[in-house]
């Protein structure tokens, strides 16, 4: 058995890692489209441009929607979730649990099975565009859904089981 020089082995390992990440990203793009389908419908129906925007992804899970936003041209995705990030892709900045406070960005996506209750609802109106999933099993469901409707957010999706509704909020542009 021949010993491979250390430098050649390092180059091979780097190339293999790059290939693995490239393949993972391509394979996950299919899942990302499936998991992000209702966000995609809302973005297209309301003509929301993701290209060159910073997206804050609350409830990113393993990164499917984060990857979807990158595929649509987002400059960067700031992702939050309680699980250890499983998808390491350039452009996704991972954080742990979201504390309900404002995170600088252009577009906000919230789908975190209850953590939407930890935020002041007016936070969702501070972004250029917000996509907020509100879950019926949470204590804040009625109040939050009512607040979003009162402030001009459109309900753009309801799951088949009726347990989750997604609202789209667009920041009102100042005229003048």
Q: Name the maximum alpha-carbon separation found in the chain.
A: 75
H-helix or E-strand spanning residue 156: strand 154-158
Query: Which conformational region is residue 63 in: left (phi greater than 0), alpha (psi within -120 to 50 degrees), or beta?
Result: left
H-helix or E-strand spanning residue 108: strand 107-110
Would you say 131 and 167 are in contact if contact means Cβ atoms under 8 Å apart? yes
Angstrom distance (rounded) from CA 156 to CA 130: 12
Q: Where are the alpha helices (DSSP H) in the chain?
A: 6-35, 37-45, 64-71, 141-150
pLDDT at site 168: 92
Would you say 124 and 130 are in contact if contact means Cβ atoms under 8 Å apart? yes
- Kindly state the average pLDDT of the residues 73-80: 95
Confidence of residue 31 (pLDDT cuts 50, 70, 90): very low
Confidence of residue 82 (pLDDT cuts 50, 70, 90): confident
Would you say 116 and 134 are in contact if contact means Cβ atoms under 8 Å apart? yes
Would you say 44 and 16 are in contact if contact means Cβ atoms under 8 Å apart? no
Lowest mean pLDDT among 32-46, 113-127, 146-160: 32-46
Angstrom distance (rounded) from CA 98 to CA 95: 8
Return the beta strands (E) in 59-98 as ranges: 76-80, 92-95
């Amino acid at each position: 058995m021949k010993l491979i020089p250390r430098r050649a082995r390092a180059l091979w390992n780097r190339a293999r890692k790059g290939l693995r990440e490239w393949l993972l990203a391509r394979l996950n793009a299919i899942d990302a489209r499936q998991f992000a389908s209702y966000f995609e419908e809302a973005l297209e129906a309301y003509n929301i441009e993701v290209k060159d925007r910073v997206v804050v992804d609350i409830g990113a899970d393993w990164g499917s929607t984060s990857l979807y936003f990158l595929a649509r041209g987002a400059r960067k995705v700031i992702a939050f979730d309680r699980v250890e990030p499983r998808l390491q892709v350039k452009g996704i900045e991972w954080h742990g649990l979201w504390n309900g406070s404002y995170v600088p960005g252009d577009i906000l996506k919230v789908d975190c099975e209850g953590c939407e209750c930890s935020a002041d609802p007016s936070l969702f109106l501070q972004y250029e565009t917000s996509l907020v999933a509100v879950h019926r099993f949470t204590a804040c469901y009625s109040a939050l859904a009512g607040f979003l409707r009162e402030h001009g957010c459109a309900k753009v999706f309801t799951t088949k089981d009726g347990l989750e509704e997604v609202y789209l909020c667009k920041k009102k542009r100042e005229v003048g």
